[in-house]
Structure 1
């Protein structure tokens, strides 16, 4: 824990920073301090331990996140092999900032337990203010909260490096965090650790995406690398059945457009995916009408849509039953 004089000084700095609202526009730390004090009503001087779920509630959450834990574990073990020797705790949390699993050396376990970095502890901003887990969730991007950048004075001897993990649909579902409580940790080494944590989180995302599309072929798209995981999952007919968060953003893919199974060629050629999907849908409707010789009701049934929806889509694409059935 920080000495009383340092803690008191930190509380004063936090209060002064929060009073000047302009600081929040230029610093994610100041913005987080402001959220912590004004929005969540937290006190930076409060020294209580983090909220901790009972064992039964933790067991339920771990079961709910079982697939995540299973897929992430090899990456967590590799990360701990690298960071554990430097006195770090590796933690995986759920989307609410609750710690699902931790890894520490036997010699450091007692210290991290005293800090409250244990399984079942809740480290979101609403509970603990600015920290590597909670602020990562709030900012939805990798963060490094170095020592006195924490909101609570009791946490200023700790440095936390957190990176978000997204599922196959691009939703933020977890945070991978490495925390260090050694006072000789430098900001430059914290930056190195932050890069390693982010890379490990990207590895988990890749494994989650691949596991979500068994049997698919995977295409690496533009932007894959430092910015994140940019992958497409393609079936045996070269139709795109999945896209990672970065691929969705860079290629303009949405969940709705994926449901219509766009062709890989249309996506990779940089065509407007909505136009490509429109062409594919028009062809599909026309083929259904041709098969049914213009019988709209029968064609709609084949496509698994209502008669009213069929007519609406025909109008959108300028199709008539007579033309399609001729």
Structure 2
């Protein structure tokens, strides 16, 4: 690439971080790596026997973790597809990891689509992983050394990479909001998780990258807390405190397994008052599962 001053005939391996530099990156992303590890194991179990190397990088293209068989390890090490290596576009030109991160989208770079001649013997399938703050966090890569790798097979692997990236993103988002209720904000089965984190007051306090886009929220960083019902379009005839009161009554009834008297006691009110509030809030006696004892 001219803008990066790269030579496609350059056969040097990618630059690699020192052990201490790599250890610092691991420490900074340890919580994320702990979440991602089991998903990398699962992906490798699906593709590892076909000569594939599963890699996870940070947002700068530095390989932080990988899964590869002993039989294939030396070949990938010779190519520089190894922990600590820099696979950004600035360092390697067009390649699966770097291009995925530069464009923020799923890519497949097949053989001679790579910029460097040294890399044209492999196929690379990649998907981005977005952090809970809406910023690009990592890239998930599967690289294949098979000489008979077909584009059709690449598509199968690519679909699995996208699914695994989405799983990692969802798991890390949930871990990042341990005290929140996680709501699926869309039924659209796209390549990214559309999730909201909702607190005990039914305020949306977090959103995945895809949810931010779908719901028109801040693109990056913390989001301004908003009523989840407003974001999800769940409007009814109740407004303001009435909606909050209805939610509180519903929670009390659910915890009391539909027992109105027990729910009233939990709310610190009499049973007659409970019935009046239920009637005002549209929770009649025929509401499913109610009992009166």
TM-score (norm 1): 0.70
Report whether the alignment pairs 1:198 with 2:165: no
Q: In the aligned structure 2, how far is the partner of 1:95 from the partner of 1:156?
A: 23
Report whether the alignment pairs 1:167 with 2:121: no
**8 Å Cα contact 2:134/2:221 also seen in 1:** no
Query: What secondary structure, in the 3-state scheme, does the structure 2 residue paired with 1:237 have?
Result: coil
Q: In the aligned structure 1, how far is the partner of 2:5 from the partner of 2:15?
A: 16
Displacement of 1:221 in angstroms is 1.4
Q: In the aligned structure 2, how far is the partner of 1:254 from the partner of 1:66?
A: 26
Q: In the aligned structure 2, how far is the partner of 1:117 from the partner of 1:257?
A: 32
Map 1:1-326 → 2, pairs under 5 A: 37-222=1-186, 224-254=188-218, 259-269=223-233
Distance 1:258 1:92, change over 3 A: closer
Following TM superposition, the consecutive aligned residue runs of length 4 or more in structure 1 with deviations greater than 2 angstroms are 223-227, 255-260
TM-score (norm 2): 0.78
Q: In the aligned structure 1, how far is the partner of 2:138 from the partner of 2:92?
A: 17
Displacement of 1:67 in angstroms is 1.1
Query: What secondary structure, in the 3-state scheme, does the structure 1 residue paired with 2:140 have?
Result: strand
Distance 1:173 1:257, change over 3 A: closer
**8 Å Cα contact 2:135/2:221 also seen in 1:** no
Query: What secondary structure, in the 3-state scheme, does the structure 2 residue paired with 1:161 have?
Result: strand
**8 Å Cα contact 1:234/1:241 also seen in 2:** yes
Displacement of 1:259 in angstroms is 4.7
Distance 1:200 1:257, change over 3 A: closer
For structure 1, which runs of at least 5 residues remain unmatched after alignment?
A: 1-36, 281-326
Count of residue pairs brought into register by the alignment: 238
The CA deviation string for residues 237-270 of structure 1, in whole angstroms up to 9 with x for no partner, is: 1111111111110111127996542111111118
**8 Å Cα contact 1:224/1:231 also seen in 2:** no
For structure 2, which runs of at least 5 residues remain unmatched after alignment?
A: 242-293
Distance 1:122 1:256, change over 3 A: closer
The CA deviation string for residues 29-51 of structure 1, in whole angstroms up to 9 with x for no partner, is: xxxxxxxx221011111111110
Moved more, 221-230 or 61-70: 221-230
Displacement of 1:152 in angstroms is 0.4
Q: In the aligned structure 2, how far is the partner of 1:257 from the partner of 1:207?
A: 19
RMSD over equivalenced CA pairs, Å: 2.0
Displacement of 1:225 in angstroms is 2.3
